[in-house]
Amino acid sequence: MNPLDSILGTIVTGLILSVVLVFLAKAIAGV
Amino acid sequence: MDILMHLDRWLHLVAGVMWIGLLYYFNFVQVPAMAEAGADSDGPGPAAIGKYVAPRALFWFRWAALATWLSGAYYLWAAPYYSLHGAFTLGIGLNNVQLTSIGLGAWLGTVMLLNVWGIIWPNQKKVLGLKPATDEEKATAKRLAFLASRTNTALSIPMLLFMHASVRGLPF
């Protein structure tokens, strides 16, 4: 099942990606 | 040209609200409404939405997307605290979290713009009958446009976070 098929799955995917990218941003910026 | 930069940032926000507002309209309202209308044998059906609403919504959606990206790129170039090159290289080596944040937002927005013009719009033209397609091609086009639209909805969540974080900081 593709999580993007449901609105809830889409929002959860966006939130998980946000958390991952915050860690990436912190690593890149060295903060 | 300070005034131009301020007007451009304003345009970026207005166009961005129109773009993402219509994106959320498609995902939260139109797609489930079309599905319900299609399944409702006693109702008026989804044809009117497809004929009168969707083409108009898509018109403003795709042009607002382009206006948002262009005004955002100009802002990155013109604002003294940003840098177009620095943002798109994610501020690597500069130890500048503002630049890294806006760079991630800019990349997410760029992927979203390419999804709009490269996947959603070409496939929606087939779905809406603006471009000739067989029933099988229409079904594939519908699925592709749907997934690209849902991808953009997911990407909009970190995109908005990073746009804001570049001004006010990361949430954790």
Q: Under DSSP, is residue B1 helix (H, G, I), strand (E, B) or coil? A: coil
What value does the CA radius of gyration of chain A take, rounded to a whole number of Å? Answer: 12
Q: How do residues A3-26 score in pLDDT, each as one tens digit?
A: 999 999 999 999 999 999 999 999
Range 1-31 of A in CB contact (< 8 A) with B:
2, 4-5, 7, 10-11, 13-15, 17-18, 21-22, 24-26, 28-31
Q: What is the ipTM of this complex?
A: 0.97
Nearest-10 crossing angle of helices B2-24, B54-78: 150
What is the pLDDT confidence band of residue B37, given thresholds at 50, 70 and 90? very high
Q: Do A30 and B157 touch (CB under 8 A)?
A: no
Task: Using CB atoms within 10 Å of the CB of residue B71, give its burial: 0 to 12 exposed, 13 to 18 middle, 19+ buried.
Answer: buried
Is the pLDDT at B1 greater than 80? The verdict is: no
Residue B148: C-alpha distances to residues B115, B119, B134, B145, B157 (Å): 6, 7, 21, 5, 15
What is the pLDDT confidence band of residue A1, given thresholds at 50, 70 and 90? confident
Output the pLDDT for position B7. 98
